[in-house]
Amino acid sequence: MLNPICTEPNLYRACSRIYSLCIPHMQPVHVSRAFNAECADRGANRIGACCAVTTPYTGTMTTYPEPTLIFENPELTVRAFSVSEMDNSVYLITMRATGEQVLIDPADDAEELYAFTLDALLKDCPQLELADGEERRVRVMEKEEDFNSIRPRAIGLTGILVTHGHWDHIRAIKELDHLTGAVTSAGAADAAAIKEQEDYTVEEELTGGESFDFYLSDTVIRALHVPGHTPGSIVYTLKTTWEDGTPATLLFTGDTLFPGGVGKTDSPQQFGELFSNVLEKLFGGFEDDAIVLPGHGRSTTLGDERPHLEDWGTRGW
């Protein structure tokens, strides 16, 4: 079944053109309990506030036209911002205590993404001051005393994590690295594609199993290699808590998994590889309440998608 918006011919062409690199077809009408633009319209300001809302998937092209707070707890916030005509969702994790930040997918417009990080610091870390210029490059403190000596300065962006090497997800990588000095990481098997497209060498090549920690915190982001959409596709996983302290899992899936299906593949073999990896590593590795935050469009949960897995396998996309 086509998305209703796509039954109008011009819109369907637009949808399939814009998403053709990333999403195989416009996805079927989809009901999600997770956060999306309608939730924001209803005044909910984060995922947890929105769980009772069911919304048909309408193919909205700009998911987060403004930087949007989608998740928060006493330790951290997650904000999302859609950039460019490809509606790439860029996610930003900000630690409240230190102002340390990690950005997922430097998709486009480095200046705007840099402003996005500073705005989050102002909102989420009001006790900290922003350092200017080169001082913002402060990112690795060997000892706690070193951090204390720079208090009350926010640390700022320390990590730029790339989900995969498709051009729409990496257009700002070089300039955002230059602006912030953050360490860039991407799947090893996509590093050559990034070099070729952006003339940029990724600093850390990932093969899965790596973890990224935060200064003065036990929270970690883990890299999971889930190849299929591209050879080096990485899903970044963040285990944290809801505001009341119960466990929460966020999966930053890039173009590996969307509401309604897996990402685009170019052959039945490639689909088979992606689908089996998604089954094993995502649906087999996480509980139904894990939140899926894709590289385009709306969020979902594994539990919302799990009943449809057999259909996906049968249809082959």
> Which residues of this protein are in contact with Zn ion, per CB under 5 A?
22, 166, 168, 255, 295
State the nearest-atom distance from the C-beta of 21 to Zn ion, in Å. 6
State the nearest-atom distance from the C-beta of 28 to Zn ion, in Å. 19
Indicate the residue among 107 and 250 with the shorter CB distance to Zn ion: 107
CB contact at 8 A, 81 and 64: yes
Amino acid at 258: F
State the Cα–Cα distance between residues 106 and 91, nearest whole angstrom.
9
State the Cα–Cα distance between residues 191 and 196, nearest whole angstrom.
9
Q: What are the phi and psi torsion angles at 67 (to 5°)?
A: -55, 130
State the nearest-atom distance from the C-beta of 36 to Zn ion, in Å. 18
Indicate the residue among 24 and 99 with the shorter CB distance to Zn ion: 24
Indicate the residue among 96 and 166 with the shorter CB distance to Zn ion: 166
CB contact at 8 A, 265 and 301: no
Indicate the residue among 168 and 177 with the shorter CB distance to Zn ion: 168
Segment (H or E) for 17: helix 9-19
Indicate the residue among 99 and 187 with the shorter CB distance to Zn ion: 187
State the nearest-atom distance from the C-beta of 252 to Zn ion, in Å. 13
Beta-ladder partners of 204: 185
Indicate the residue among 249 and 256 with the shorter CB distance to Zn ion: 256
State the Cα–Cα distance between residues 75 and 243, nearest whole angstrom.
9
State the nearest-atom distance from the C-beta of 226 to Zn ion, in Å. 12
State the nearest-atom distance from the C-beta of 174 to Zn ion, in Å. 18
State the nearest-atom distance from the C-beta of 309 to Zn ion, in Å. 21
State the Cα–Cα distance between residues 298 and 58, nearest whole angstrom.
10
Indicate the residue among 228 and 295 with the shorter CB distance to Zn ion: 295
Tokens of 23: 């999403």
**In this structure, what DSSP letter does residue 276 have?**
H
State the nearest-atom distance from the C-beta of 86 to Zn ion, in Å. 6
State the Cα–Cα distance between residues 38 and 123, nearest whole angstrom.
23
Task: Pick the closest to residue 98 from 163, 38, 150 (CA basis).
Answer: 150
State the Cα–Cα distance between residues 129 and 288, nearest whole angstrom.
39
Indicate the residue among 214 and 275 with the shorter CB distance to Zn ion: 275
State the Cα–Cα distance between residues 250 and 270, nearest whole angstrom.
26
